Structure 1
Amino acid sequence: MSSTKQRASQACDACRQRRIRCQVDISHDDESDRICGRCRLANLPCTFNMPMKRRGPPAKKRRTSFQSVSKSDAEQLEAAETTSGAISPRFPDVVPALLPEDDNEQQCYAGPASLISKFCSEPLFNALMQDYIGLLYPVLPVVHLPTFVSDLGNYRHRIDQDFGRFVLALCAVTISVRPDRFVDFKKIDPDFSFSTRLQAIDCVQSIINKTKPPDYYDHSTVEKWAIPLCLGRAYAYLGNRKAIYYHFSEGHALMQDLGCHRTSTYASLDHVEAQLRKKAFWLTAITYTHVRPEDPWWDSLRDRLVFEEYQASELFPLILDDEYITRGALLEQPHTRPSLMVGFMALALINNCLVSIMRDPAVSLFSTTTDCGSDRDSLGACTCGRHIVPSPLAGLLRSRLSTLDRVVADLPLELGPHKPLGPSLDQARSLQYETMRLNLHITYRWVQSLLIERLISLSGIGSEDRADLWDMLQNVCAELLMFVKQMTQEVLVLHGTSLSYKIRQTAASLLDHPFLPGSAASNRAQEQIKAFADILASLDAMHAKS
């Protein structure tokens, strides 16, 4: 009988190393006599000593309770029909291990070398992803959480290089905001040899840039958009604010290529993808806002040129947590559990008061000196641009200050300036609310101080109005100081130098106050400045450790 050649159930060692199809003579009963045709022709020893890789998804015993949320839409709808009321997917009290920690089991799943292995070990990667989900996700929600955890559980980062680059960027931004955990990260992975967080982020950027294929930008995805956003924020959290300009340019271009700024592109998308793209739009806008206040003309015609075609008011994301959004259906959010998206949209609206990308129908940002005869665009200015002049800013700035107060007043108790005293939620959820609450109220006071300072500097403001504005600014600083004092340093340090920068800039506004020496206002300002200096010195010391 002629020998039968067919694809073997297990490739020989030589073919596995060369990653080519293996053909084995299976007519021999004795496995020791079997030899691959390619090895015979090349006169190579044909062995089968390398351990077989386990195929299929991870063992069910290793699946986390997060993965139970990522059921198909049909299963969720069927569950909804058989139960009364809304579905309430259960999340664990603390973020569980997302990947197996046993070295033997990891070896069973070892496939082609992943990008993660070039940066850190799987246990450290697991710890970084837990920190992202538990701490950073509320203010940087670049994923659909149930899908993301399912992808991690199925080791997508080992087989999909685009996803690998994406999670590497998440690792970078997570490391940047955790100076208190940097030593712990090195203990988890002894081979994690970086001496500073900046070195680790530089390594991530290098791996991402070197592994981009030539056709990388031919197809845009939300994950590709999120990579420059995360890298830019990672550098900004460490104090390198200039780097965010370059990464913002790439992210902004990808966001536009995805059509996140146009409502017409959402018609064919499922609920999950639509929510991700709307969050991408607002995260891009928030990032742009944060790099503008360094410019003395931060509310200028440049904003009009960047955002004039955006339909921002129609692009608000759904006020639902990710576990209540499936690709084919929207589930009801329990009333006892406010969505984190409430805080995210409040943060977006607060930033919109600084650099507006939504037209305020009550106040015109620009006007024209004469009728140039050309058509007018959506902002009410001539298209030729020769007759555009800024409208008086006093009314605009006061309107934005009122809008700020309304946004914060509408927040639920869980996100208010004072932590509620009622029954607490589970540990993971409470920490997410605390992270969002911290960002909301520090950003709120920061934007308030910038708007008031701009009002004070206007030439048309009378002396009495200017005195009232100085008092308002001092009250803003007092409220910020009171809020910061109730937060622990461990929570304050979670967001890198970004929040320290906002606190520092708000406190510095007191230095320009025309206090009379020895007056009550002067003494109060001196006490506030000293208190701010002590807090900032302590935060700077914690950041300097790594």
Structure 2
Amino acid sequence: MPPVVSRRGQRIASKACDNCRDRKVQCVFESPESPSCRRCTDANGPCTFLKERKARGPPARRVPSTQALPVGNLSIELLCPHDVFLSILEDFLHIVYPVLPLVHRPTFRLLVESKSYTSDPAFFRLCIGLVAVTVASIPRNFEKYGASMYPDVGSMVDRACHLVLLSRISLEPHWQNQPSMNSMLVSILLTMASHYVGRQNQGWGYASEAIQFFRALELFRKEGYEKLSPWECELCKRAFWVLYIIQIHDRLSFIVPHTGLSFDPKHTDWEFLLPAEAGDDDLTACTNDPDTYHNGKEFYNREPPLICGFIALVKVFLCVVDLLSSGLFPGTAPQAYAMTGGSLTLPEAAGDRISHSSSRSTLSLTSLLRIIRNLQSALEELPEQLKITTMDPQVRSPDGSEHALSATTQFQFDIMRANIHITSLYIQSTVLEACSSAFANNPNDSFAPSPGDDAHSSPGYTPRTQLWKFRESIARELLEVLHFCSTRTLEASGSSMIVKIREMAATLLDSDNDLGVPSESEEQLRRYVVQFADILANLDYMGHSTVIPAIFSAH
């Protein structure tokens, strides 16, 4: 007989016999020595416990919440199966690379084909970092990436970070005091991956580590590139601007920045640090013929290389960067630590003066308008492949034209096109909200029309009404961009794109009727909010409660 328990004076079996279980009735034994329960005894039948019992409650997950850290030789299989690993790397090269061009593709493919990650610890760590940032950037693909081994995307990224740390400790124990280009690149990749999955402290830790490595290598100076090959030089230049953009986001979003500067403003060669407009294949040719490595503009004759999209994104950020040194935004450094220096020619907004009061600094409304126009000018100078009008299939180059792109290349340009235009609008929105006090403090002054209006035919608006006109203009343009972009295109930039769209849409929720907004305009803004909600519901696969990348969040 099975063990019994006592309840209200009756001896009840800890589990029912087969007969009582089938009838779903209580199984009671007269005494601990009874060979059968009361019902089986009364029926003069066998009292057996032979049938298999089903476990109670929901089925337990077979995926462990944490995995033990490995001891001994490290391998790719400790992160994911080998075939999945190769699939993730291909997704990086096709989808994530346009946003984070931190590998030389020809060399990288050769190393992967030769399985160098099994013998070269540095390349092993780079591959692990690429896997982490790709999985974090495309969470919708997690089912095929690692759902059989991990409960969520964040756990897979954590595992990648642990493997990188173990490899560094065991095979490169002096990586902190003797950093290399590879260590710096891996730290950048883990920065982005950690923020994309909501590991905020971890992300800022890797960002600070990457910045310190970059400074220690003195890669903000031309002299730091003397011993590097052409393609290594370009990777370091691209890394400089990725770190630079991280620092801009940090200072735009937080009262106290998490990061220092990755460069010395007084000794930074800005013109030299701009990446060459050269494709990776062109850089391979330059390795054999270094004399051809100049500014890169003569490298392409038929179509701009993919890196043009990344360079255009850099130029968009340069439209606002000097404002970060003026004290306008929370978290900005004093002028002595300005984020720019040297002789780099910046947009017209860089020359705008900030009006100071005894208590705070505010940007003049005219300066704000110039910033927006400078951003628009930067977009007008884009190559045809990156202009928003070419998103319409009817105006794209036909397949048989000289400039027709392959499907993969076209998709990669679409990724950067969406990133560039949405980031431009995000910067406009951020600057506008940071300067909203200037609108509120001047309720009776007339002001020029919004950038999209005809300055000669449109009537003047009060600054408070103009605030809403700007918001409406940004919302309208953002919806036009989003309607051209597929979900797959937007997902390539990771959850940062979701946060940017969400924050721009949130500015429309200000229902302060004191601004004098016409009722029809207020109703239009409500319709915009509904459209943004529908877009975000389809795009935000992970959910805001799961992924909140602090690097792109304003709170």
Q: Same fold (TM over 0.5)?
A: yes
Q: Deviation above 6 Å: which 4+ runs of structure 1?
A: 300-306, 357-360, 365-368, 377-380, 388-391
Residue matched to 2:539: 539
* TM-score normalised over the length of structure 1: 0.68
Question: Once the 2 structures are TM-superposed, how far is the Cα of residue 522 of structure 1 from its aligned partner?
Answer: 0.3
Structure 2 counterparts to residues 284-433 of structure 1, below 5 A: 284-296=243-255, 307=265, 309-326=267-284, 327-329=287-289, 330=292, 332-356=298-322, 393-394=363-364, 397-418=368-389, 419=391, 420-423=395-398, 424-433=404-413
Following the alignment from structure 1 to structure 2, what is the Cα–Cα distance between the partners of residues 201 and 301?
A: 22
Return closer, same or farther for 1:297/1:114 CA change in 2, 3 Å cut-off.
closer
Instruction: Give yes or no for contact 2:204–2:259 (8 Å, CA) kept in 1.
Output: no
Return closer, same or farther for 1:542/1:272 CA change in 2, 3 Å cut-off.
same
Instruction: Give yes or no for contact 2:268–2:342 (8 Å, CA) kept in 1.
Output: no
Question: Once the 2 structures are TM-superposed, how far is the Cα of residue 235 of structure 1 from its aligned partner?
Answer: 2.0
Return closer, same or farther for 1:358/1:296 CA change in 2, 3 Å cut-off.
closer
Residues 1:135 and 2:91 are matched in the alignment: no
Residue matched to 1:434: 414
Residue matched to 1:474: 472
Question: Once the 2 structures are TM-superposed, how far is the Cα of residue 247 of structure 1 from its aligned partner?
Answer: 1.2
Residue matched to 1:200: 156
Question: Once the 2 structures are TM-superposed, how far is the Cα of residue 390 of structure 1 from its aligned partner?
Answer: 8.4
Following the alignment from structure 1 to structure 2, what is the Cα–Cα distance between the partners of residues 145 and 367?
A: 39
Following the alignment from structure 2 to structure 1, what is the Cα–Cα distance between the partners of residues 478 and 177?
A: 46
Following the alignment from structure 1 to structure 2, what is the Cα–Cα distance between the partners of residues 144 and 390?
A: 46
Following the alignment from structure 1 to structure 2, what is the Cα–Cα distance between the partners of residues 199 and 174?
A: 14
Following the alignment from structure 2 to structure 1, what is the Cα–Cα distance between the partners of residues 259 and 441?
A: 21
Instruction: Give yes or no for contact 2:220–2:273 (8 Å, CA) kept in 1.
Output: yes
Instruction: Give yes or no for contact 1:270–1:328 (8 Å, CA) kept in 2.
Output: no
Structure 2 counterparts to residues 107-126 of structure 1, below 5 A: 114-126=74-86
Question: Once the 2 structures are TM-superposed, how far is the Cα of residue 307 of structure 1 from its aligned partner?
Answer: 4.5
- Residue 144 of structure 2 aligns to a residue whose secondary structure is helix
Q: Amino acid of the residue matched to residue 178 of structure 1?
A: I
Residue matched to 2:494: 496
Return closer, same or farther for 1:354/1:337 CA change in 2, 3 Å cut-off.
same
Q: Amino acid of the residue matched to residue 526 of structure 1?
A: R
Q: Amino acid of the residue matched to residue 468 of structure 2?
A: W
- Residue 120 of structure 1 aligns to a residue whose secondary structure is coil
Q: Amino acid of the residue matched to residue 172 of structure 1?
A: A
Instruction: Give yes or no for contact 1:115–1:165 (8 Å, CA) kept in 2.
Output: no
Return closer, same or farther for 1:532/1:412 CA change in 2, 3 Å cut-off.
same
- Residue 193 of structure 1 aligns to a residue whose secondary structure is coil
Following the alignment from structure 2 to structure 1, what is the Cα–Cα distance between the partners of residues 361 and 190?
A: 37
Following the alignment from structure 1 to structure 2, what is the Cα–Cα distance between the partners of residues 469 and 233?
A: 33
Residue matched to 2:128: 168
Following the alignment from structure 1 to structure 2, what is the Cα–Cα distance between the partners of residues 206 and 404?
A: 41
Q: Work out which of the residue numbers 416, 420, 425 in structure 2 matches 1:445.
A: 425
Following the alignment from structure 1 to structure 2, what is the Cα–Cα distance between the partners of residues 173 and 286?
A: 17
Question: Once the 2 structures are TM-superposed, how far is the Cα of residue 406 of structure 1 from its aligned partner?
Answer: 1.6
Return closer, same or farther for 1:323/1:289 CA change in 2, 3 Å cut-off.
same
Structure 2 counterparts to residues 512-527 of structure 1, below 5 A: 512=510, 514-515=512-513, 519-527=519-527
Question: Once the 2 structures are TM-superposed, how far is the Cα of residue 513 of structure 1 from its aligned partner?
Answer: 5.7
Moved more, 506-515 or 524-533: 506-515
Residue matched to 2:218: 259
Return closer, same or farther for 1:355/1:246 CA change in 2, 3 Å cut-off.
farther
- Residue 496 of structure 1 aligns to a residue whose secondary structure is coil
Residue matched to 2:452: none
Return closer, same or farther for 1:304/1:401 CA change in 2, 3 Å cut-off.
farther
Return closer, same or farther for 1:401/1:303 CA change in 2, 3 Å cut-off.
farther
Q: Amino acid of the residue matched to residue 261 of structure 1?
A: F
Residue matched to 1:16: none
Following the alignment from structure 1 to structure 2, what is the Cα–Cα distance between the partners of residues 514 and 401?
A: 24
Q: Amino acid of the residue matched to residue 393 of structure 1?
A: L
Residues 378-401 of structure 1, C-alpha deviations (whole Å, 9 max, x = no match): 799xxxxxxx99876326544433
Residues 455-475 of structure 1, C-alpha deviations (whole Å, 9 max, x = no match): 322376564332224312210
Instruction: Give yes or no for contact 1:225–1:254 (8 Å, CA) kept in 2.
Output: yes
Instruction: Give yes or no for contact 2:214–2:262 (8 Å, CA) kept in 1.
Output: no
Point out the structure with max Rg over C-alpha.
Answer: 2
Q: Amino acid of the residue matched to residue 197 of structure 1?
A: V
Residue matched to 2:401: none
Moved more, 282-291 or 451-460: 451-460
Percent identity for Structure 1 against Structure 2:
25
Moved more, 430-439 or 196-205: 430-439
Question: Once the 2 structures are TM-superposed, how far is the Cα of residue 172 of structure 1 from its aligned partner?
Answer: 0.4
Residue matched to 1:269: 228
Moved more, 471-480 or 262-271: 262-271
Following the alignment from structure 2 to structure 1, what is the Cα–Cα distance between the partners of residues 442 and 227?
A: 51
- Residue 503 of structure 1 aligns to a residue whose secondary structure is helix
Residues 1:278 and 2:237 are matched in the alignment: yes
Moved more, 195-204 or 269-278: 269-278
The size of the alignment, in residue pairs, is: 411
Following the alignment from structure 2 to structure 1, what is the Cα–Cα distance between the partners of residues 323 and 272?
A: 12
Following the alignment from structure 1 to structure 2, what is the Cα–Cα distance between the partners of residues 543 and 358?
A: 31
Return closer, same or farther for 1:241/1:352 CA change in 2, 3 Å cut-off.
farther
Residue matched to 1:233: 192
